Amino acid sequence: MNDKVIGIIGGMGPEATANLYMKIIKATKTKADQDHFRVIIDSNPKIPDRTQAILYNGKSPVDDIVKTAKNLELIGVDVGCIPCMTSHYFIESIQESVSYPIINAFEEVNKYILANYPRVNTVGVLATSGTVKTGLFEKYLDNINIIYPDNKDQEEKVMQAIYGEYGIKSGNLGEKPLMLLKEAATKLVQNGAELLISGCTEIGLVLKQEHLDIPIIDPMEIIAQTLVKL
């Protein structure tokens, strides 16, 4: 029986949070309801935007993320995770505030690539401008050449697909954001990417493996697999 209690520090955004929960369910080997993990989710969409804080001196999300993390601690979770890649910029402060371990998605992605794609040299990343600016992928990925869309594509395709009027955070999971992300991803492939990372949890909601000819890594899939194996 899976007795571990998993906590999801969620709401950044809500659909990405729900998507991670579903991935945990799918990753769990069960024969009955009782075989599943107990999962506690605090989906707090009131947390200030992470990219705004990093790039434009907006309100820091740390206090609200910490409060959310502490809510899970009060309930008694054994391990936590954050279904928001940009929020990992603040993960040290968040981890210091609670006693349970928080899985670092970047560290797990690095382990996964080393184990499954050891010969890959160049990885393309689609992520928020906040994540790109922080250099988180450069910090955590070992000996890998990381490429991003150029500034124009980053703003007009990737950020529009995530934050735009018809973007994923507006509840649109259809053709418009998919088209923009496919265009940005295709250019990365043309520039030498052998592997693509969906470096924002919203991207994995629309961009799937069947849309590209190179492997796509969804960090939330890796997190789900990591959690159920702990």
Give the DSSP per-residue string, 64-79: HHHHHHHHHHHHT-SE
Residue 122 phi, psi (nearest 5): -120, 125
Q: Is 81 a catalytic residue?
A: no
Q: What gap in Å lies between CA 90 and CA 68, rounded to an integer?
A: 14
Which strand (E) or helix (H) includes residue 218?
none
Catalytic residue among 69, 84, 91, 127: 84
Alpha-carbon distances of 21 from 82, 91, 124, 208, rounded to whole Å: 11, 20, 26, 18
Q: What gap in Å lies between CA 131 and CA 136, rounded to an integer?
A: 7
Q: Which two tokens stand for residue 183?
A: 């265009």
Q: Is-contact 92 190, C-beta < 8 A?
A: no
Q: How far apart are the first and last CA of the chain?
A: 13
Catalytic residue among 16, 200, 206, 207: 200
Q: What gap in Å lies between CA 182 and CA 192, rounded to an integer?
A: 15
Q: Which two tokens stand for residue 78?
A: 């054994």
Sheet architecture: strand order including 38-43? 38-43, 5-10, 79-81
Q: Is 84 a catalytic residue?
A: yes
Q: Which two tokens stand for residue 161?
A: 């697909």
Residue 158, strand partner residues: none
Any idea which residues carry the catalytic annotation?
84, 200
